[in-house]
Amino acid sequence: MPTSFQCVLHRLVATVCMFLAGTCSWAANSVVTVLAADSFSYPGNVALPGQNGGTGWSGAWVSDSVSFTDFYTNAASLAVTGVASAGGRAVYRAGSQLNDAARTLPLQNTGVVFVQFLAQFGTQSGGGTPNIRFSSSGALTGAVGNNGACGSAVYAILNNNLQAIPASCSAVTLATLSAVVLRIDYTANNTRMWVLPGLSGFDYLNPPTASAEYDGLAPAFDRLSFYTRNPANIDELRIFRVDAVVDGECGGAAGQAYAFAPTAQLCTQGTPSVVVSDPGKYSWVCSGSNGGAASGTCEANWAVAGTGTGSVAPPDNGWAVTSATFSNTLPGSPPANASFPYGLVSLSLNGGAVGSATSITIHYTTPVPVGAVYMKYGKSPAGFNCSGAACAQDHWYLMPEGQVVVAPDRYSATLTITDGGAGDDDLIANGAITDPGGFVLLPAAIGIPSLSQWALFLTAILMVLGSTHRLLIRDARAERLSCIR
């Protein structure tokens, strides 16, 4: 079997290309993938069964029925404008009333597949001919040609009973030398056909109005069969796909601000890469398809967090961020004169096991101030700046020290939160964590001594009282001595 062969397909302008390894770029904005093809480049006047030329087929040509005479070859090719013929053609050979031949190929039943050939039959139509039939696993699925339908011998799209509908009949007679193009759309379950005197300028991606159409029919096939009476000429048989070249293009997420890496609207066209988070920004690339170029680097910003920006990294242990926002609007009554350098970050997590813990890291573009503490707003267990029923009311409280770890460079902090525990606003182990909080700089305490200060103060008082007591005892003794004397 040849490894390469010459073909002609046209789009907008006549272009000659070489189909190599089954793929041919035939215009700047489209790619043709050849699935199977045969130009019938065989010696003349030999039986078509047994010939094994072309590419993409599963085997050689065979007789489709032992009851009929085989198709033969002719060294002269058919010629129409816009198609470069190579070699000969398949022809009807005198003998029995019917001639046939068949060839198998990989199953075609997805996407959009084109079947193209040159043909010229006679004026006869009926008795099962003339047509090129499609079958899958031995069952007839459709055909192109005719079988006494349409009221005249014209090219038509036929169903699995070799019947046409009015819309599937063209106006071109079977006796007219024509280039026939079928577009089988398995997704839309539709087959369209163009019967043209040539293919110069034919646009496969944006074709003209079809010569015929059969909505509701998309014949899957792994075998093609010729069934005709005299005369019959078939040449330049092609089965292929045509795909638009798509360049990657950044989507609507580019240029926006996000508290965590965006997952939607990354690419208007193409396929997005993994989103990378760097200080202050996210970046990704949209790759093209069908040979299209990749986009440049697409970028989005971290969300505004106080005077800088911030980003929430994906949590661990099976948890995922469903929402994250930074806000300078503080709920409730925050501590007096306290400052929130990054505002408040509100997190919603889910996906983890009920009652499990997760660690989530928040990154900043400015370092966490020394002395800042992490405070939460919401409900808490008893002992977190509340007692009794007050703990069920939203309030400010310090996040336990062991649950907040600031990185050595202070540009990030990792929170560890347990579903239903301190830091989870609803205090319920339910597979969801709600976590509003942020770093706070508290003012120095003035006039309100700490416990250690009270201890020092009481110790000083006791020392003064002790000294006074000793002086009083000494003076009393001195008076008694003076009286004795």
Residues 337 and 213 in one domain: no
473 in a structural domain: no
DSSP string for 361-408 = EEEESSPPPTT-EEEEEE---TTSS--GGGGGS-EEEEPPGGGEEE-T
Tens-digit pLDDT string for the chain (485 aa): 333 333 333 333 333 343 333 344 345 578 899 999 999 999 999 999 999 999 999 999 999 988 899 999 999 999 999 998 888 999 998 766 899 999 999 999 999 999 999 999 999 999 999 999 999 999 999 999 999 999 999 999 999 999 999 999 999 999 999 999 999 999 999 999 999 999 999 999 999 999 999 999 999 999 999 999 999 999 999 999 999 999 999 999 999 999 999 999 999 999 999 999 999 999 999 999 988 999 999 999 999 998 899 999 999 999 999 999 999 999 988 888 999 999 999 999 999 999 999 999 999 999 999 999 999 999 999 999 999 999 999 999 999 888 999 999 999 999 999 999 998 999 999 999 998 999 999 987 433 233 334 344 444 444 444 544 444 444 544 443 343 34
Q: How many domains does the chain have?
A: 3
Residues 184 and 56 in one domain: yes
Q: What is the pTM of this model?
A: 0.67
Note the pLDDT of residue 90. 98
Residues 19 and 157 in one domain: yes
Residues 106 and 183 in one domain: yes
123 in a structural domain: yes
188 in a structural domain: yes
474 in a structural domain: no
Q: Are 141 and 161 within 8 A, CB to CB? A: no
Residues 350 and 418 in one domain: yes
The separation between CA 188 and the C-alpha centre of its own chain, rounded to angstroms, equals 21
Residues 292 and 417 in one domain: no
Note the pLDDT of residue 95. 67
456 in a structural domain: no
Residues 184 and 147 in one domain: yes
Residues 268 and 354 in one domain: no
104 in a structural domain: yes
- What does each C-alpha distance from 358 to 73, 404, 407 come to in angstroms? 74, 12, 17
Nearest to 91 by CA among 126, 110, 55, 118: 118
Residues 337 and 257 in one domain: no
Note the pLDDT of residue 5. 31
DSSP string for 70-103 = EPEEESSPP-BBTB---S-EEE--SSSS-EEEEE
269 in a structural domain: yes
485 in a structural domain: no
* Residue 31, SS3 per DSSP: strand
What's the CA angle centered on 350, arms 344 and 355, to 5 degrees?
Answer: 100
Residues 185 and 44 in one domain: yes
| Distance (Å, whole) CA 275 – CA 258 | 12
Residues 259 and 230 in one domain: no
Q: How many CB atoms lie within 10 A of CB 469?
A: 10
| Distance (Å, whole) CA 280 – CA 278 | 6
Note the pLDDT of residue 483. 39
The whole domain housing 279 covers: 249-304
Note the pLDDT of residue 435. 86
**Domain edge (last residue) among 264, 283, 304:** 304
Note the pLDDT of residue 343. 93
The residue behind tokens 């056909």 is 193
CATH number of the domain encompassing residue 109: 2.60.120.200
Give φ, ψ of 328 to 5 degrees. -90, 0
Residues 203 and 260 in one domain: no
